[in-house]
Structure 1
Amino acid sequence: MSATPDYIVTTGDFITEWMEHQGVNAAELARRLGVSRKHLSELLSGKAPLSHPLALALERVTGVPARIWNQYESGYRGDLARRQENTDPDAQ
């Protein structure tokens, strides 16, 4: 049995959960954050990384401290790297 989960939670999953709880759609959140809907979509899907300035914008919009958003992002990127290392025999 492995202590490491076999799934990865994106930062966007946490943002989406907040959006659902608050009744805010992607277009409205993009507007509040001052980013394009495309950029927000890429962030929500895990394709675009969360920048520190955007974490600060999320803090202003959501009330959740930027350090928490940054921790989610760091954990997500670390999990991606771990998965890549485990699936790429040349990475070690």
Structure 2
Amino acid sequence: MLHRENQIRQYHTSSAADLIKETMEFYHITQTDLAERLGVSQKHISEILQRKRFINEVLALRIEKVMGISSELLLNLDSNFKLRRAKDEEQVNDDKQHQSENFLKRYDWVNMG
């Protein structure tokens, strides 16, 4: 039975960095080695793994060729992660989800008839 007082759990949203890290650990590959294989700097890889930077389509395709991870999956993970982060920030800024004054409303004086 559903109860309105029950809260919906929010699950951790992974980013591409999480999957890349896991794969690096499995294959015992360093950031430097991965960077060389992908044709980017070690700093670039480090920033991705720290979520200071996110992968783009070109890098996703390179990762797919080198690591065998679907480029679509990587891009979707990062997109969902960034969206979750933005929603969390927006919720804090909206003072616990008070409806914005900019939210669309019908005007009482409009007669559609």
Q: Shorter-chain TM-score: which interval?
A: 0.7 to 0.9
* Mapping of residues 1-92 of structure 1, within 5 Å: 1-5=7-11, 7-89=12-94, 92=100
Note if contact 2:38-2:66 (Cα within 8 Å) is conserved in structure 1.
yes
User: Normalized against structure 1, the TM-score is what?
Assistant: 0.87
Aligned length: 91
**Aligned mates of 2:60, 2:81 — CA distance in 1:** 14
Identity of aligned residues (%): 31
**Is the radius of gyration larger for structure 1 or structure 2?**
2
**More helix per residue: 1 or 2?**
1
Note if contact 1:10-1:44 (Cα within 8 Å) is conserved in structure 2.
no
Superposition RMSD on alpha carbons, in Å? 1.8
Bigger relative contact order, structure 1 or 2, given CA contacts below 8 A and separation 6+?
Answer: 1
Unaligned stretches of 5+ residues in structure 2 = 1-6, 101-113
User: Normalized against structure 2, the TM-score is what?
Assistant: 0.73
Unaligned stretches of 5+ residues in structure 1 = none
